[in-house]
């Protein structure tokens, strides 16, 4: 089958890429290895945060545009995806993360209000205990996206625009060229352009093409805790707490995030931006770095005892998800060496969902040889020496 564009990966970034391409009339095929919808990747779940308060200015700019693109999808599908809650950013001395995040949010047109620990307690009693000496600010425009619904809306529009979704098909081989051939366990497809956005499986797919992306796949745990009085967190903002002292084996920048009761009535969602290394095919069974698989849970339990003791000793629900982390926690968005009609995006490190409409469009711009709408040179694979296997080219 010959088409204009093939997208491998039916998560939020791949689906966004297919949405943009199909929307402009390109014959587009989206290939996903699992039957849709599923919970095997990084895009599933009821909610995701959307915020502009990043230390990276590029991400903040992308998120500002993503707000508008999510709104456009809402209008197209008549489905409400965004909920404004605000987000409280907390930090400990010397407040470097807080200052950078606040600066980028303000530069992006966001409204931020500095709050003392006493202010937070007065405005949102029971949200979270902030230690003396810590600082916080509220990004008023931040909120949540309905993740599963957003994915369903993207798939709906892809089909409406004439795109094809081939789920339950595993890619077995990719043959680069001016016409790219993709062989799955069910069919063979050919296209002028290819986009690879397969999340935690990107490393395996690209290795066969001579590219060794430095991705670490981690299993991250999300817990839902019973609030002492159902409805107590109504009107609470999300919070993001950088003012923590994580264990030494948490090598990546680490923070705790918390949601008011949104997904399950009477339950508050908390998680750690950290995880245990695993393999995407067996994420619930395998721990690759020999770390005690309960260590992240123990850390979260201790956090709850000191910051949210009224929520009890144990969570009511525990769920797993996956992050694909790069060494510097920045994305990789690039084209395949010597094959500019093949673009790929990966390593979204727990931050990609909110920006997916922009990232998907950029991947399409790259694969089609167009001028890219952002300066993404800082996201190039070239920043990782040795990632390209020269013998393949």
**For 173-208, what is each residue's pLDDT tens digit?**
999 999 999 999 999 999 999 999 999 999 999 999
- pLDDT the model gives residue 230: 86
What's the first-to-final CA gap in the chain, in angstroms? 27
Residues in CB range of 77: below 8 A, 6 or more apart: 153, 156, 157
* Average pLDDT of every residue of the chain: 92
- pLDDT the model gives residue 287: 44
The token pair that represents 66 in the structure block = 């993503």
What is d(CA 164, CA 30) in angstroms, rounded to the nearest whole number? 6
Mean pLDDT, residues 280-291: 54
What is d(CA 207, CA 390) in angstroms, rounded to the nearest whole number? 12
What is d(CA 393, CA 388) in angstroms, rounded to the nearest whole number? 9
> How many CB atoms neighbour CB 300 within 10 A?
21
On the 0-12 / 13-18 / 19+ scale of CB atoms within 10 A, 87 is buried
What is d(CA 150, CA 56) in angstroms, rounded to the nearest whole number? 25
Q: How confident is the model at residue 269 (pLDDT cuts 50, 70, 90)?
A: very high
DSSP state of 237: P
* Residue carrying structure tokens 């721990």: 287
What is d(CA 85, CA 200) in angstroms, rounded to the nearest whole number? 30
| Predicted confidence (pLDDT) at residue 250 exceeds the cutoff of 50 | yes
The token pair that represents 352 in the structure block = 């990609």
What is d(CA 263, CA 261) in angstroms, rounded to the nearest whole number? 6
| Predicted confidence (pLDDT) at residue 357 exceeds the cutoff of 70 | yes
Q: Alpha carbon of 234 to those of 116, 121, 130: distances in Å?
A: 21, 15, 19
Q: Hey, is 24 helix, strand or coil?
A: coil
> How many CB atoms neighbour CB 196 within 10 A?
27
Residues in CB range of 113: below 8 A, 6 or more apart: 137, 138, 140
Q: How confident is the model at residue 321 (pLDDT cuts 50, 70, 90)?
A: confident
What is d(CA 7, CA 107) in angstroms, rounded to the nearest whole number? 34
| Predicted confidence (pLDDT) at residue 286 exceeds the cutoff of 70 | no
| Predicted confidence (pLDDT) at residue 38 exceeds the cutoff of 80 | yes
In 227-289, at which residue ranges do the beta strands (DSSP E only) sit? 238-241, 256-258, 267-272, 276-277
Q: Hey, is 218 helix, strand or coil?
A: strand
Least confident of 130-134, 216-220, 278-282, 333-337: 278-282
- pLDDT the model gives residue 298: 84
> How many CB atoms neighbour CB 235 within 10 A?
12
| Predicted confidence (pLDDT) at residue 259 exceeds the cutoff of 50 | yes
Longest alpha-carbon distance in the chain:
64
Reported as half-sphere exposure (CB side, CA atoms, 13 A), residue 2 has a value of: 3
Least confident of 26-30, 275-279, 318-322, 323-327: 275-279
Residues 346/11, Cβ–Cβ less than 8 Å:
no
| Predicted confidence (pLDDT) at residue 20 exceeds the cutoff of 80 | yes
């Amino acid at each position: 089958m010959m088409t204009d564009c093939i997208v491998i990966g039916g998560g939020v970034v791949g689906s966004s890429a297919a949405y943009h391409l199909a929307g402009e009339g390109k014959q587009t095929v989206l290939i996903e290895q699992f039957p849709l919808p599923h919970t095997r990747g990084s895009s599933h779940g009821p909610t995701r945060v959307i915020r502009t308060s990043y230390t990276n200015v590029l991400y903040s700019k992308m998120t500002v545009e993503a707000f508008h693109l999510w709104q456009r999808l809402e209008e197209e599908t008549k489905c409400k995806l965004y909920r404004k809650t605000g987000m409280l950013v907390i930090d400990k001395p010397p407040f470097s993360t807080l200052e950078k995040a606040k600066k980028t949010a303000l530069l992006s047109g966001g409204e931020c209000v500095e709050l003392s620990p006493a202010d937070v307690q007065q405005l949102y009693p029971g949200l979270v205990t902030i230690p003396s000496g810590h600082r916080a600010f509220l990004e008023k425009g931040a909120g949540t996206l309905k993740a599963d619904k957003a994915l369903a809306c993207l798939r709906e529009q892809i089909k409406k625009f004439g795109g094809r979704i081939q789920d339950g098909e595993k890619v077995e081989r990719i043959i680069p060229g001016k016409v790219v051939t993709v062989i799955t366990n069910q069919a063979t497809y050919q296209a002028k352009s290819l986009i690879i956005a397969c999340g935690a499986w990107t490393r395996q797919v690209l290795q066969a093409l001579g590219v060794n992306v430095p991705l670490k796949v981690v299993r991250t745990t999300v817990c839902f805790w019973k609030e002492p009085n159902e409805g107590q967190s109504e009107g609470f903002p999300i919070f993001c707490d950088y003012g923590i002292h994580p264990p030494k084996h948490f090598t990546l920048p680490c923070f705790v995030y918390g949601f008011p009761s949104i997904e399950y009535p009477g339950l508050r969602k908390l998680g750690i931006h950290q995880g245990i290394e695993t393999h995407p095919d067996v994420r619930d069974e395998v721990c690759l770095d020999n770390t005690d698989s309960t260590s992240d849970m123990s850390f979260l339990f201790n956090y709850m005892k000191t910051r949210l003791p009224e929520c009890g000793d144990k969570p009511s629900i525990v769920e797993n998800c996956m992050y694909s982390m790069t060494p510097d926690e920045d994305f990789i968005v690039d084209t395949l060496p010597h094959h500019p009609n093949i673009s790929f995006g990966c390593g979204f490190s727990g931050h990609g969902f909110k920006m997916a409409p922009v990232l998907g469009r950029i991947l399409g711009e790259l694969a089609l040889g167009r001028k890219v709408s952002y300066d993404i040179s800082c996201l190039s694979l070239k920043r990782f020496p040795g990632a390209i296997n020269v013998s393949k080219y």
